[in-house]
């Protein structure tokens, strides 16, 4: 839309009057001042007034190749002009077939079958439904329970939201009762003061095994986990966590779904993080976001040969996987994803992430020195600062406004963040240069210092 052709006050009013945004508070929509993002180049976005910001969260962890790339839109336009839509049910198309092949080449182990979806939620939903389908066909109809984790986020469909474990989202909407079991918080930062990380790791693995035994292995279908728990606060598990959890799953015939909607496509310097970073080959991987660098919606759930073989041939009993979307494998999205992969390879994006990650993590960890910061953690190009406020309090004391206060200060200095209660999360476009990383952390450090001054003035520190 061109703002030159419309009055911006009208536009803002239309947004307030007619546009219900995700996670919108219902009390007074007019009170919420949203930034209108109208342009972008590289790691920067510009608002309606032409002010420029570093996009700390890369949209929503997705704009991997940065803004203003022309290869992806050109590939989309070419595909749309040639053939804009093909039914994935009765037909196929070259773009989605080629993309399935390119994805399968980059997945770990025997994960070779790609089911395309419209985004991350529908990828998780399809993964969970495939697990049900496979178990039902194999006569394991009792195996229904999904084990997930507190603070996990897996999506906004009925099923994917049911396996999401954020407290703040529970209670307002109904969820699939009795289907999901949530393991306790896996954040090493909130472990007991006397507990070592190694002991915490043992406890977390035991939490999974005990849950399976308590529910009964014959009733547990799958364990779902983000390699790094992303919007729950970039929770990096202790080394070995996923590997040991996979071993527990194997022991009890529980499938392992690795939700790589955030970690897939370069965030940790690899196409997928499950094997390359965490040394596991899960049964199913879900991805979205970075698959098209956010230029157009698309997701995928990638299934292992083992699971496909379990229900192929005679074992299929004539069944069909009755799950699919009008836009599964949409040719324009597939063309965008193929172009995105080409840009990754041409511009050596994965190598670039490896090159700049040490500086990113060094500057991130240095923030822990600031008195307001309880924990500064991250991996690859994902970071989070978790604040604690009460001077005499323990490390868990939280202040609900602090993330928002830091975010507001940083926005004034040209950096957008994602505030989450007492945390700020960031995951910049993967094309970020070292000088830009320094600029980003300079602003963030200053934003935290200014917030600390505010808190002192308010008598909260």
Which spans of this chain sit near ligand PMP (rule: CB under 6 A)? 60, 119-121, 124, 153-156, 226, 230-231, 259, 261-262, 288, 299
43, 431 Cβ separation under 8 angstroms: yes
Query: Which residue bears the tokens 């998780």?
Result: 124
How far is C-alpha 143 from the geometric centre of its chain's CA atoms?
A: 27
**Which of 153, 360 has the CB closer to ligand PMP?**
153
CB of 55 to ligand PMP, least distance (A): 16
Residue 263 or 451 having the CB closest to ligand PMP:
263
Identify which of residues 126 and 156 has a Cβ nearer to ligand PMP in the complex.
156
CB of 177 to ligand PMP, least distance (A): 21
Q: Which is nearer to ligand PMP, 170 or 390 (CB)?
A: 170
β-strand 423-426 against 418-420: which pairing, if any? antiparallel
Nearer to ligand PMP, 66 or 120 (CB): 120
The Cα–Cα gap between 370 and 375 comes to: 10
Of 340 and 452, nearer to ligand PMP (C-beta) is 340
Consecutive H or E run containing 183: strand 180-183
Pairing of the two strands 255-259 and 220-225 = parallel
DSSP state of 260: -
Report the residue number whose CB is nearest to ligand PMP: 120
* Beta carbon of residue 419, minimum distance to ligand PMP (angstroms, whole number): 15
Question: Which is nearer to ligand PMP, 153 or 441 (by Cβ)?
Answer: 153
Beta strand 180-183 with 52-55: parallel, antiparallel or unpaired? unpaired
Residue 234 beta carbon to ligand PMP: minimum distance, rounded to whole angstroms: 11
Half-sphere exposure (CA, 13 Å, Cβ side) for 183?
A: 22
Minimal distance in Å, beta carbon 149 to ligand PMP? 11
Q: Which residues, 6+ apart, have CB-to-CB distance to 321 below 8 Å?
A: 130, 133
Given the DSSP bridges, would you call strands 220-225 and 145-149 parallel, antiparallel or unpaired? parallel
Closest separation in Å from C-beta 153 to ligand PMP = 5
DSSP 364-418: HHHGGGSTTEEEEEEETTEEEEEE---TTS-TT---TTHHHHHHHHHHHTTEE-E
Q: Which is nearer to ligand PMP, 121 or 293 (CB)?
A: 121
CA distance 418 to 427: 9
Contacts of residue 42, defined as CB under 8 A and 6 or more positions apart, other chains included, come to: 66, 67, 68, 429, 431
**Shortest distance, CB of residue 259 to ligand PMP, whole angstroms?**
5
| Nearest residue to 46 (alpha-carbon basis) of 65, 68, 14 | 68
Q: State the DSSP H helix or E strand holding residue 257, giving kind and residue range, or none if neither.
A: strand 255-259
Supply the minimum distance, in Å, between the C-beta of residue 117 and ligand PMP: 9
Tell the smallest beta-carbon distance from residue 292 to ligand PMP (Å): 11
Judged by CB, which is closer to ligand PMP: 288, or 437? 288
């Amino acid at each position: 839309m061109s703002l030159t052709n419309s009055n911006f006050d009208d536009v803002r009013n239309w947004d307030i009057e007619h546009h219900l945004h995700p996670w919108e508070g219902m009390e007074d929509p007019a009170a919420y001042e949203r930034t209108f993002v109208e342009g972008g180049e590289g790691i920067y976005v510009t608002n309606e007034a032409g002010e420029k910001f570093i996009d700390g969260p890369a949209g929503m962890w997705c704009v991997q190749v940065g803004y203003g790339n022309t290869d992806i839109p050109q590939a989309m336009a070419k595909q749309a002009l040639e053939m804009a839509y093909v039914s994935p049910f009765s037909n196929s198309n070259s773009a989605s077939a080629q993309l399935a092949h390119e994805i399968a080449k980059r997945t770990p182990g025997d994960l070779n079958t790609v089911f395309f979806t419209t985004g991350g939620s529908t990828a998780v939903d399809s993964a969970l439904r495939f697990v049900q389908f496979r178990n039902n066909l194999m006569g394991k109809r009792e195996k229904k329970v999904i084990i997930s984790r507190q603070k996990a986020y897996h999506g906004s469909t009925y099923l994917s939201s049911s396996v999401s474990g954020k407290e703040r989202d529970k209670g307002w909407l109904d969820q699939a009762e009795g289907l999901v079991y949530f393991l306790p918080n896996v954040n090493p930062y909130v472990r007991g003061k006397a507990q070592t990380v190694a002991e915490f790791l043992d406890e977390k693995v035991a939490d999974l095994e005990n849950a399976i035994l308590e529910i009964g292995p014959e009733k547990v279908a799958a364990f779902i986990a983000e390699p790094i728990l992303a919007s729950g606060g970039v929770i990096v598990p202790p080394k070995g966590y996923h590997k040991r959890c996979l071993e527990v799953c194997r022991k009890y015939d529980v499938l392992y779904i690795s939700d790589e909607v955030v970690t897939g496509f370069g965030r940790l310097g690899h196409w997928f993080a499950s094997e390359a970073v965490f040394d596991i080959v899960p049964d199913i991987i879900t991805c979205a976001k970075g698959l098209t660098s956010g230029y157009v919606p698309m997701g995928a759930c990638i299934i292992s040969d083992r699971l496909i073989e379990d229900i192929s041939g005679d074992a299929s009993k004539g069944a069909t996987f009755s799950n699919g979307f009008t836009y599964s494998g949409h040719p324009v999205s597939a063309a965008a994803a193929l172009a995105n992969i080409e840009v990754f390879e041409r511009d050596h994006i994965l190598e670039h992430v490896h090159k700049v990650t040490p500086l990113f993590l060094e500057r991130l960890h240095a923030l822990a020195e600031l008195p307001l910061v309880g924990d500064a953690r991250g991996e690859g190009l994902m970071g989070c600062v978790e604040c604690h406020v009460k001077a005499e309090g323990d490390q868990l004391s939280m202040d609900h406004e602090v993330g928002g206060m830091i975010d507001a200060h940083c926005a004034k200095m040209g950096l957008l963040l994602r505030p989450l209660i007492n945390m700020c999360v960031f995951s910049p476009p993967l094309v970020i240069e070292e000088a830009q990383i320094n600029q980003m952390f300079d602003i963030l450090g200053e934003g935290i210092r200014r917030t600390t001054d505010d808190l002192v003035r308010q008598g909260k520190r």
